[in-house]
Amino acid sequence: MTSGPLLTVASERSVAWPVCSMSALSNAAKPWATALNSSGIKPLTSWLVPACPTKMTCVEEARASNPDLRRSPYTSRLLLWSFAIGVLPPLALITGLATRSLLLLTFVHVITGGTWTGFDLFMGVVMSRVMRSLDIPARVEVAKRLTPTTFFILPSLAAVAVTSGIYLAQMESKFDLSSPWIIAAGVVVLILTAQGFGIFMPNGVRIFIELAKRQPDTGLIARLNMRNIRLAGVQALLQVLIILIMAHLAVY
Amino acid sequence: MNVNLAALLAVFAFAGVMLAIFGTLYAGAVRSYHRDELGFEGIRILRWALVGLLAIYALLAATAFLA
């Protein structure tokens, strides 16, 4: 019976489902609810209808009664959005390589590199000032939304910009590891990568963990987020440097 | 099939570093969950975050077979 597990989960978690009346139940669920009613067990509709006169009230009450739902109902949605955008650069890179299109490969490299640099410049130059002007609770609210939204997009942009750059240099026979310009680009990329793996990603994960705690340390969330935003400024400077190196490689 | 071995190894190396760092943080989160400081929603989000990152690395690894 399809409705069995549904009702079991509902009762185990003590969550008021956003289903408020018998008419809203599926045809498969109705016999189950009727059987429960006739068996002397507290009727399903008596749990739901009086407590939740409207669908919206149901959702709000479910969030209020369940700490997990109350904490960050938007985190999963923002994370999913971030993933949906984050897979686009690797897919574009795959398309460029599969079609052997120098144009598409160059486009992917320039757009991902430019977006990555632009994003870091924006974070370092604009967002850091905006965040400093906010009080701690407001900073935490920004961090709660900014961290999941950027979680996949930024690593994806960074990885694809670097990977497509190496493939492009190989295709144009410029990937000469004895060239000081290529070595300089490699050193900058290594620093950027170390910062990404060593600071950005762990800070993002620590913010997720802190947000999911029953008593989040809001001060820690604000500090970690500010650290990431300031570091984005440093990354932007390094990226401006690497663009200078790229300009030299493109011209000479 | 042509494989860009250097690119493939680089992706595996980066994925390995990511897994090591993420794994450490995840283990800390699981400990917090067992101490009842952390809700299961946090663990669930971390798992999805890990799956998402691995999916992006898998796509990057696929490029090594096309270059």
What distance in Å separates residue A30's CA from the closest CA in chain B? 30
DSSP A52: -
Residue A165 touches partner B, C-beta closer than 8 Å: no
- Residues of chain A in contact with residue B14, where contact means CB-CB under 8 angstroms, are 159, 193, 197
Chain-centroid distance, C-alpha A48:
34
Residue that has been written with the tokens 């059987």 in this structure: A35
CB contact under 8 A, B63 and A94: yes
**Do residues A86 and A71 lie in contact, with contact meaning Cβ atoms separated by under 8 Å?**
no
Q: Which of A12-21, A74-83, A101-110 has the lowest mean pLDDT?
A: A12-21
Q: Which residue of chain A comes nearest to B16, CA vs CA?
A: A197
Residues A16, A13: Cα–Cα separation, whole Å: 9
Report the 10 Å Cβ neighbour count for A204: 23
DSSP letters, B3-43, are --HHHHHHHHHHHHHHHHHHHHHHHHHHHHHHTTSB-HHHH
pLDDT category of residue A90 using cuts at 50, 70 and 90: very high
Q: Which of A21-25, A93-97, A234-238 has the lowest mean pLDDT?
A: A21-25
Residue A191 touches partner B, C-beta closer than 8 Å: no
Tokens linked to A85? 């955008």
**Do residues A145 and A183 lie in contact, with contact meaning Cβ atoms separated by under 8 Å?**
no
Instruction: State the Cα angle at A224 between A218 and A229, rounded to 5°.
Output: 125
- Residues of chain A in contact with residue B45, where contact means CB-CB under 8 angstroms, are 75-76, 79, 208, 212
What distance in Å separates residue B38's CA from the closest CA in chain A? 4
Residue A250 contacts by C-beta under 8 Å, 6 or more apart in sequence?
none
- Residues of chain A in contact with residue B27, where contact means CB-CB under 8 angstroms, are none
pLDDT category of residue A66 using cuts at 50, 70 and 90: low
- Any bridge partners for residue A213, and if so which? B38
**Do residues B11 and B57 lie in contact, with contact meaning Cβ atoms separated by under 8 Å?**
yes
Per-residue pLDDT of chain B (67 residues), as tens digits, is: 688 888 889 889 889 988 999 999 999 999 999 988 888 888 988 999 999 999 999 999 999 998 7
